[in-house]
Structure formats: C-alpha cells, structure tokens
Amino acid sequence: DLYRKVFVFRKDPSDAYVVLRARLEQPLHNFTVCLRSYTDLSRPHSLFSYATKAQDNEILLFKPKPEEYRFYVGGKFVTFRVPEGRRDWEHVCASWESATGIAEFWLNGKPWPRK
C-alpha cells in the first residue's frame, strides 16, 4: 500500500527510480494506476512502468511533452492530449480493461474520452 507515500528525486531524475516487487498469482486482466506528480521537466519522462520477465515496459505511463500523455499496454499505446498547464501538482489515473482493450485516462479528476 503506497497511500500517502512520497518519492522525492532531488538530483537529475534521468537515472533515478524506485523498484517495487509484486508477486502476482494471476496475470493482470484489468488495472488502474493513479499517482500524483510534480516536476519542472519539459523533456520526455516516465511516470509509471510495470515490467514483466518478457517485457520491460509492459505497462507504461509516459509523458513525451507537457501537453501529452501516452499510455502503453503490451507495446501498443494511446495518446491523450491535455492543455499545457502551469507547473503544479497533477493527479493522473489510467485504466485498462483486457476484455475490450479500452483505455481510460483522468487528469485532476477530469475524464478524457475512452480509447
């Protein structure tokens, strides 16, 4: 449980990361990941990555530029374009359902169209 936990990367975050090891008893069929982030980075960066033995970024929430998020599942991705905002905390959620392949995205509590 990471509720109310904070990871702070004080130096250049290009090589800073956290590793959490989960032992899943069954494959993921549906999931939702939510996080809050604050950064002054304008370069591409990852917000969340889930690796399997077969693929490093099986699930990836990636921000290639300030007004765009990419949500990868199994090597395929959907893009969500957002208004470029001021530098502030962002609350992001991304969800995926294997039966339909539908991806959902929320930014600061506001849902974006499903893809």
pLDDT digits (tens, 9 = 90+) for 71-115: 999 999 999 999 987 778 999 999 999 999 999 999 999 999 999
Instruction: Tell me the domain boundaries of the chain.
Output: 27-111
The pTM of this model reads 0.86
Q: Residue 103: which region, alpha, beta or left (left: phi > 0; alpha: psi -120 to 50)?
A: beta
Q: CB-based burial of residue 112 (10 Å sphere; 0-12 exposed, 13-18 middle, 19+ buried)?
A: middle
pLDDT digits (tens, 9 = 90+) for 38-52: 888 888 999 999 988
Tokens of 82: 């957002």
Tokens of 50: 């889930």
Q: What pLDDT band is residue 13 in, cutting at 50, 70 and 90? A: low
pLDDT at 17: 77
pLDDT at 6: 80
Query: What is 27-111's CATH number, 2.60.120.200, 3.40.50.300, 3.30.2080.10, 3.40.50.2000?
Result: 2.60.120.200
